[in-house]
Amino acid sequence: MPQLPAPAYPAETHARLKADAEAIIARYPDSRSALLPMLHLVQSEEGYVTRTGMAFCAELLGLTTAEVTAVATFYTMYRRKPSGDYQVGVCTNTLCAVMGGDAIFDELKEHLGVGNDETTEDGRITLEHIECNAACDYAPVVMVNWEFFDNQTPDSAKRLVDDLREGRTVEPTRGAPLCTYKETARILAGFPDERPGAVEATGGAGPASLIGLKLAKGELPQQRVVHPRGQDGADAPDATGHAPSPAEHLSSHDAPQQTAPADPENPAGPVTGDGSEEGK
């Protein structure tokens, strides 16, 4: 049976959201470019993107509801059903998973009594596993409303969700103080975070993530460079006068190549791990 048309927002809500939407649309030369932030705007109203919200976006942008739905269902940051005040995402991509992300996710499911993409009965926590959030230097990582909680363990993650449910103050490892999911959605729509001190508290990449940049800028001591065998410096002695043997090379690309005894170009046989030839 076909769905009935989505109900409209109440007049007061529609007028308020329309004023915000017009401010968003004015940022772009093509109005349809405003769709992503407008979806965050309607998500800030009810905590997820409703059919009413999608119809509202279509109306103001001159799009069909099918076009809006296609975008809203493509991006995972847009919720399609009611969510908790705090979206707790556990990274289960490869590095976080092997560093403990899978264990964290499993223990949180049991601790909260919910599965993936489910919300606790008190409406406080929605739990989900998420894709990489580019914080591999701090694996395993848990995100709460897209703020970072680095280097987590099952126990620290359980304390985190307990504090959120009890209304205790929780500080991210780096970044702005936490706010609710609806408040986060409004900020993602491009409106200023008006909480005192929130902008000043916003953090960036942590020290571990900046090592590569510092090396590139020459701000850290030069690291030892291992030259390929046969090039200048390959077998040069170090500061103590010790010349490294083939087995001491740091890269497997520089290790002695194994060859078969029957190889006519290497009649002496393969090279052993200590750099000598077999049979000698």
Instruction: List, for residues 226-260, the tens digit of each pLDDT value.
Output: 555 555 544 455 555 555 444 443 333 333 334 34
Same domain, 26 and 131: no
User: Residue 185 falls within a domain, yes or no?
Assistant: yes
In a domain, 99, yes or no: yes
The whole-number pLDDT of residue 241 equals 55
Tell me, what DSSP letter sits at residue 253?
G
pLDDT tens-place string over residues 143-181: 999 999 999 999 999 999 999 999 998 989 888 889 999
Whether 90 and 32 share a structural domain: no
| 69: its two tokens | 């739905």
**Rg of the chain's alpha carbons, rounded to an integer?**
28
CA 149, distance to chain mean position in Å, is 11
Q: Would you state the pLDDT for residue 227?
A: 55
Q: Would you say residue 165 lies in a domain? A: yes
Domain range spanning residue 43? 11-72
Tokens of residue 200, six digits? 């000043």
What is the rounded distance in angstroms from the CA atom of residue 23 to the CA atom of residue 242?
69
CATH code, domain carrying 40: 1.10.10
Tell me if 130 is assigned to some domain: yes
Cβ pair 161, 121 in contact under 8 A: no
Kindly state whether residue 215 falls inside one of the protein's structural domains: no
CATH number, domain at 120? 3.40.30.10
- Same domain membership, residue 68 and residue 90: no
Spans of the chain, pLDDT less than 50:
233-235, 244-264, 266-273, 275, 277-280
Q: How many residues does the chain have?
A: 280
**Domain stops at, among 72, 97, 120:** 72
Name the domain count of the chain: 2
Same domain flag for 99 and 182? yes
Q: Which of 200, 91, 198, 178 is nearest to 138 (CA)?
A: 91
pLDDT of residue 48: 95
Question: How many angstroms from the chain centroid is the CA of residue 43?
Answer: 21
CA-to-CA distance for 127 and 131, rounded, in angstroms? Answer: 13
Q: How far apart are CA 183 and CA 43, in angstroms?
A: 10
Nearest alpha-carbon partner for 256 in 239, 238, 240, 244: 244
What is the per-residue pLDDT for 215?
A: 77
CA nearest neighbour of 156 among 173, 174, 132: 173
The pLDDT score that the predictor gives to residue 64 is 95
Same domain, 195 and 99: yes
